[in-house]
Amino acid sequence: MPQPPEIRRARTADVRGIRALVAPLAERRVLVAKEAVTYFESLQEFRVADAGGRIVGCGALHVMWEDLAEIRTLAVAPDQLGTGLGGRILETLVEEARALGVQRLFCLTFETRFFARHGFEAIEGQAVTPEVYAELLRSYDEGVAEFLDLERVKPNTLGNTRMLRTL
Percentage with pLDDT > 70 across the chain: 95
- Residues ≥6 apart with Cβ < 8 Å to 128: 65, 68, 136
**Is the predicted pLDDT of residue 157 greater than 70, yes or no?**
no
Query: If you average pLDDT over every residue of the chain, what do you get?
Result: 90
Query: Which pLDDT does position 142 carry in this prediction?
Result: 78
Q: Using an 8 Å Cβ cutoff, are 7 and 61 in contact?
A: no
Query: Which pLDDT does position 2 carry in this prediction?
Result: 73
The number of beta carbons lying within 10 Å of the beta carbon of residue 96 is: 18
Q: How far apart are CA 77 and CA 59, in angstroms?
A: 12
The two beta strands, 104-109 and 68-76, are: parallel
CATH of domain 6-166: 3.40.630.30
pLDDT in tens, 79-129: 999 999 999 999 999 999 999 999 999 998 999 999 999 999 998 877 777
The domain segmentation of the chain, as residue ranges, is: 6-166
